[in-house]
Chains A and B, each alone.
Chain A
Amino acid sequence: MIPELGNFALALACCLALAQAVVGIWGAQRRDIRLMAATPGLAVGQFLALATAAGALVWAAVHDDFSVANIAENSAIAKPLMYKISGCWGNHEGSILLWGLILSICGAAVSLAGRNLPSGLRARVLGVLGGTSCGFLLFALTTSNPFLRIWPPPADGQGMNPLLQDPGLAFHPPILYTGYVGFAVPFAFAVAALIEGRIDAAWGRWVRPWALTSWAFLTCGIALGSWWAYYELGWGGYWFWDPVENASLMPWLTGTALVHSAIVVEKRESLKIWTVLLAIGTFSLSLSGTFLVRSGILNSVHSFANDPARGIFILALLALVIGGSLLLFALRAPRLSSGGIFAPISREGALVLNNILLCSICAVVVVGTMYPPFADLLLGQKISVGAPFFNATVLPLAIPLFAAMAVGPLLPWKRAKLMPIVEHAWWAALAAVIVTGACTIGMKILPALAFGFATWIILGSFAEVVERVLLFRTPVASSFRRARGLPIAVLGAAIAHAGMGVTLAGLAGAALDSQKIVSAKVGQTFSSGGYEWTLMKLEDADGPNYTSRMATIYVKKDGVPVVLMHPSRRNFTAQHQTTSDVAISTNLLRDLYAVLGEEHDGQAVLRLHVNVLAPWIWLGAFTMAIGGAISLSDRRLRVGAPSRARPDAVTA
């Protein structure tokens, strides 16, 4: 009964979304106040209906209702409760439902937080969100319904892929999807602005918090995914340039560009047309990322052949959303007036450079990701591009970006001179040169350069803060007073930029890694990466739904005990699948990383890594997201909204 309720709620949400689209756009076109006032209610209703549907699916999973096909295929009685819940969004049907739910949350948030938006703009934004939502809910209902029943129900489900049975993966999809779907709001604002034919500084101020929020979530989502790959897959790597990862990187790159170009719209009323195009492009990449690459439709011609309805529906929907918005852009963009003039060397100029480089990087990632499947589909050529391709293309474009990153925030708006910048940032540049020089001793040139750039970005990010508080040039108390008066957005930007530097240092640390594969008897000792690793014992250690072999490795450095590590190999009986449970011991400067391989003739294969600075990769990403969150709390993003009655309503 509950799954039928979920099915009904899903269908109801689809109808409400359609109503939201029609009422919102048509009502705003007719300037009908009653229709426009009805859209927020419809958006909240759609959210409630989808929350009910998601709740019903979770209920079915928790109660092991194997008459629901989706639960029977992806769950099992022996599965721990947490994974029964998180498993709901680990499969295709469930993830589409999660997608719709997050989109409806965005709609409800715009309804509630956007009370002081002009009513026409709000109705159009909600209308566009409703239309997008309606399309994808229709897709869920017709081709990927999670509530379909099977008869007779099996006694037990098939269980989830053991690799997905992991706490990191329980939180990864909701966070990543919030990042993806959140960009629907800037997209809706862009389309609404195109329909209205008007963009001003206020538009930039309304769009930026949404773009920034989605960007912060996407950053966290990508970092969590890469962290999961690092500790779960047991290869010691964290980024494989595979299509699923690239699918999240592409909207991140254009989203980063959007966050920056929206500043120019807000402050200088310039780059308006470009920002609208970025908003459309970012959401288009999110969409094609989730639906073409993640669903495997492009990667495997099989899933097309197995289920043509699904493939054709999704292609038609993507063509409608992306093509429609681009067509609207082509028709309406010339009507948008261009804004203020600026010199090439200025804050605007630096942000334009940032946008050009980020979009160029995105373009090469798009080509590298999309070309192989298209070559297979159209030319029948089986080719692949891997890390060497992306390293050769992304790195040369990233270097000028890193170099410019620390300088940009120091430049004043409109026109600037380079000389004052040199006066403000020379110490960061000097430190970077010293670090690079020190690193070239015993290191290759590329990692040394990366460490240098990391130093430059981290120190240079705070150059503006240092400059503004007149550190060391006035008494400390005066500096402190100035620091308290600093706009929070400046601090947020500095922290986010520094986070990028921290991540870069973590990536460069890979050059100092060491790894050793050994075949070990119990009691044997190996030395690798400056540590002595002793295999103490091998034993059985069974879990709730798996059997397992666990090794105990005693790690010492120069005779001093460091840590006991317990890597294991798990055999999931229901799926006949073996996974490696990696043992990681970190002190934030390096990870000790041990993997247990197969056992033959009393000898176990062990893989022992020392990964230098590896934790910094994810720490840096979370720092970036925190920087974004701090920027969001800036009062300047809130004040100046049309109504002063509820000054905090625009953000949220």
Chain B
Amino acid sequence: MTRKHRRLVVVLACMAGLGSAAALTLNAFSNTMVFFMTPADLAEKNPPPGQTVRLGGMVEAGSLKRTIEDGEPGATFRVTDGKSAVTVAYTGILPDLFREGQGVVALGSLLPDHSFHAQEVLAKHDETYMPKDVADALKKRGYWKEGQKPPATKAAGS
């Protein structure tokens, strides 16, 4: 085998490797990319039931109910961004940092009845008790400014 042949084989192998990596990436992006939405985004864009989204907002004060389903503890609570709100059902242990009136991010999907079923609830945040994505989204919509009390009270008109 000459040097030229060898080089050709190596180049072809590289192209096969990186090509399949690129194809896999593009394919996975279209299937598994998860968008961040607030309750108002959910109402506007209305993603099809079953599509995974990250829902972010504030836990409405007084909306948390603990439930027990088939012996498994869970919870329902409402997430609001000040404009609209959505009911979230979750089975499992809520994270240690979960509080009413504070920011939360829930990973899950809409059910046909427009309630949200969360597979995972995250309450990871900085000292201001606001997850970054939630803070950005609320600021962009003008419902919250840095240093203000967050809009944890009931959403207007919902």
Contacts and interface: CB of A to CB of B under 8 A. Distances in A.
B101 to A, nearest CB: 15
Given A361-B21, A597-B93, A519 B31 contact: no
Contacts of B1: 341, 343-344
A382 B16 CA distance: 32
A389 B68 contact: no
Contact of B66 (A383, A392, A396, A600): A600
Nearest to A601: B66
Contacts of A385: 28-29, 32-34
Given A360-B21, A363-B18, A352 B10 contact: yes
B19 to A, nearest CB: 9
Contact of B72 (A344, A368, A518): A518
Interface residues of B, number: 41
Contacts of B6: 341-344
A598 B94 contact: yes
A545 B36 CA distance: 38
A347 to B, nearest CB: 14
B93 A360 contact: no
A382 B17 contact: no
Given A386-B32, A605-B73, A392 B132 contact: no
A595 interface: yes
A272 interface: no
A353 interface: yes
B24 A392 contact: yes
Contact of A519 (B3, B68, B97, B107): B68
Q: Which of B9, B21, B24 has the most CB of A within 10 A?
A: B21
Interface in A487-528: 516-519
B76 to A, nearest CB: 15
Contacts of A569: 96
Nearest to A387: B32
A600 B75 CA distance: 13
A352 B31 contact: no
A118 interface: no
A519 B91 CA distance: 12
B118 to A, nearest CB: 14
Interface in B32-49: 32-36
A517 B73 contact: yes
A388 B31 contact: yes
A605 B21 contact: no
Contacts of B72: 516-519
Contacts, number: 114
B24 A517 contact: no
Interface stretch (A83-91, A550-558, A576-584, A609-617): A576-584
Contacts of B66: 600
A303 to B, nearest CB: 10
A597 B90 CA distance: 15
Q: Which of A363, A389, A393 has the most CB of B within 10 A?
A: A393
Contacts of B155: none
B73 A341 contact: no
Interface in A330-367: 341-344, 352-353, 356-357, 359-361, 363-364, 367
Contact of B132 (A300, A356, A363, A371): A300
B35 A383 contact: yes
B6 to A, nearest CB: 6
B32 A519 contact: no
A572 to B, nearest CB: 11
A29 interface: no
Contacts of B13: 344, 352-353, 356
Contact of A595 (B2, B24, B34, B93): B93
Nearest to B10: A352
Contact of B36 (A343, A371, A382, A607): A382
A301 B9 CA distance: 44
B112 interface: no
Contacts of B114: none
Contacts of B94: 598
Nearest to B68: A519
Contacts of B16: 356
A430 to B, nearest CB: 28
Interface in B92-134: 92-94, 96-97, 107, 132-133
A518 B73 CA distance: 6
B132 A393 contact: no
Contacts of A352: 10, 13
Contact of B33 (A361, A383, A397, A595): A383
Interface string A570-608: 000000011110000000000000010110100001010
A347 B27 CA distance: 33
Contacts of A580: 96
A392 B35 contact: no
A41 to B, nearest CB: 44
A478 interface: no
Contact of B24 (A396, A518, A578, A600): A396
A440 interface: no
Contact of A389 (B10, B14, B33): B33
A248 B97 CA distance: 27
A302 interface: yes
A383 B27 CA distance: 16
A269 B32 CA distance: 43
B137 interface: yes
B54 interface: yes
Contacts of A577: 96-97
Contact of A363 (B21, B28, B29, B92): B21
Contact of A392 (B18, B28, B93): B28
Contact of B93 (A367, A517, A579): A517
A384 interface: yes
A271 to B, nearest CB: 9
Nearest to A381: B35
Q: Which of B1, B33, B35, B137 has the most CB of A within 10 A?
A: B33
A360 B73 contact: no
A417 to B, nearest CB: 14
B96 A392 contact: no
Nearest to A296: B132
A301 B97 CA distance: 23
B153 interface: no
Contacts of A357: 17
Nearest to B98: A598
A598 B99 CA distance: 13
Given A344-B6, A384-B36, A517-B91, A396 B20 contact: yes
26 contacts: A299-B132, A300-B132, A342-B6, A352-B10, A353-B13, A356-B13, A361-B21, A381-B35, A382-B35, A382-B133, A383-B35, A383-B36, A384-B33, A385-B34, A386-B32, A388-B31, A392-B27, A392-B32, A393-B28, A517-B92, A518-B72, A569-B96, A579-B96, A595-B93, A597-B93, A607-B93
Given A343-B6, A352-B10, 17 more contacts: A299-B132, A300-B132, A341-B6, A343-B1, A344-B13, A356-B13, A356-B16, A357-B17, A363-B21, A368-B25, A382-B36, A382-B54, A382-B133, A382-B137, A386-B107, A598-B93, A607-B93
Shortest 4 CB-CB contacts between residues of A and residues of B: A382-B36, A356-B17, A360-B21, A388-B32
Interface of B: 1-3, 6, 9-10, 13-14, 16-18, 20-21, 24-25, 27-29, 31-36, 54, 66, 68, 71-73, 91-94, 96-97, 107, 132-133, 136-137
